[in-house]
Amino acid sequence: MPTYITSRDLKDAFPNLDEFDTKKPIYSWVVDSGSRYISHDSGLVTALFVDGSNQGSAQANRAAVDANGEWFYDSAIDAVYYYNDTNTPEDLLMEAGEDFATLKTRVMKDASDYVDSKLDSNLPREQFLLKDGTYDYLIRRLTSLIAAFFLVKGKDPTSEIAESLFEEATMHIEDLNSGRAKLSYMNTGDASKGIVRQISVSGNLNIVDTRGNYFGSYDRLKVIVTTGGAIGTAKYSVFAKDDDTLKNNQVVTDEVINGDYQDLAAGLQIRFQGSSDSSTATQNDEWEIEVTGLYEEVENASVRSVRMTRKDFKQFYRGKNGSRIY
């Protein structure tokens, strides 16, 4: 299964992320021999960090620790050895643990797997991916909360912060599974009215409303300003799909923007408006309007239905010879 989030998503959902680096300090260093030091009762050390720098792989045994930065953990006596002929470990920040970037990568994957296991199997995972290569915002938010929960809980099992993160994540899972929350791919009851997105807009005259319903199946309509200016001067064109691709068939050509509802495509209209009467559109300002047909199946309707059938049932009892008597 894919990893639904990036480190940026995780940081956005939980800005205090770096406080929950799980590395632990190692204290009580004493000289073992020469410039080789030892810390007893260190606990398991799978990676050693000195002032935040990973010291690499451990040596094979204690005797092999004979050059700066080398180290070895002896599980038989629960002790770690470290060599440094320049500074004593007591003057350095000595830590055991996993590289934080590596830890985050693992936790993000674990969180993605957890989310996938908790979401209804009828939700099509392949449609969580958006056309820009990222995943749907709610999926990213949910996964980030779970990943943050794992990190916080791992460092402080009794943390109230962890419980708060998990509470919000659980709410999102329930909303998705019940159909109360909408993902981007879902066809909703108002999808035929279109979803307007700015592609490249530098003017201050915008598409502010749509009217009607789209009587096709699906399209992503391109609206572009062909002549700049204010209402009454500016012009727009519309491109719809053809048999080969999207946004390739011109269906409206150089229509003057008048501030009223005007033709878009297949039963839909749009209206332009600015913040004032002097607002202007800039040539090549562009919008995309994603539409789904009025009669296409609605995937997350707020009211759900169950198909029922009616039959006539006749009561009977059996006679002494086993025959049915109605």
Q: Domain spans of the chain?
A: 7-19+100-178, 23-96, 191-292
What the block records as the tokens of 104 is 């985050």
CA dihedral 272, 275, 280, 283 (to 10 degrees): -60
- Please say if the pLDDT value at position 41 is more than 50: yes
Burial 204-232 (b: 16+ CB within 10 A, else e): ebbbeebebbbebeebbbbbbbeebbbbe
114 pLDDT more than 50:
yes
Higher per-residue pLDDT: 18 or 29: 29
Q: How confident is the model at residue 192 (pLDDT cuts 50, 70, 90)?
A: low
The reported pLDDT for the residue numbered 258 is 93
97 contacts 23 by C-beta, under 8 angstroms? yes
Sign of CA dihedral 87, 91, 96, 102: negative
Amino acid at 160: E
Element (H, E) at 229: strand 229-230
CA dihedral 271, 272, 275, 280 (to 10 degrees): -170
**∠ CA 5-107-20, rounded to 5°:** 105
Reported confidence tier of residue 146, pLDDT bands at 50, 70, 90: very high
pTM beyond 0.75: the answer is no
Bin 196: left if φ > 0, else alpha if -120 < ψ < 50, else beta: beta
Confidence of residue 94 (pLDDT cuts 50, 70, 90): very high
Is 80 exceeded by the pLDDT of residue 84?
A: yes
Q: Which of 136, 134, 149, 139 is nearest to 118 (CA)?
A: 139
Residue 164 structure tokens: 């708060």
Can you give the pLDDT at residue 188? 47
pLDDT (tens digit per residue) in 259-300: 999 988 888 888 998 888 889 999 999 998 888 776 554 454
**Which region among 66-80, 185-199, 233-247 has the lowest average model confidence (pLDDT)?**
185-199
Phi, psi of 167 (to 5 degrees): -65, -45
What is the per-residue pLDDT for 86?
A: 94
Q: How far apart are CA 181 and CA 178, in angstroms?
A: 8
Instruction: Determine contact, residues 258/178, Cβ cutoff 8 Å.
Output: no
Amino acid at 130: L
As given in the structure block, the two tokens for residue 82 are: 């470290």
pLDDT digits (tens, 9 = 90+) for 164-186: 999 999 999 998 888 888 776 55
Q: Determine which helix (DSSP H) or strand (DSSP E) holds 173, and give its type and residue range.
A: helix 160-178
Residues 6+ apart with CB under 8 A from 120: 176, 177
Q: Which residues contact 14 (CB under 8 A, 6 or more apart)?
A: 144, 145, 148, 151, 165
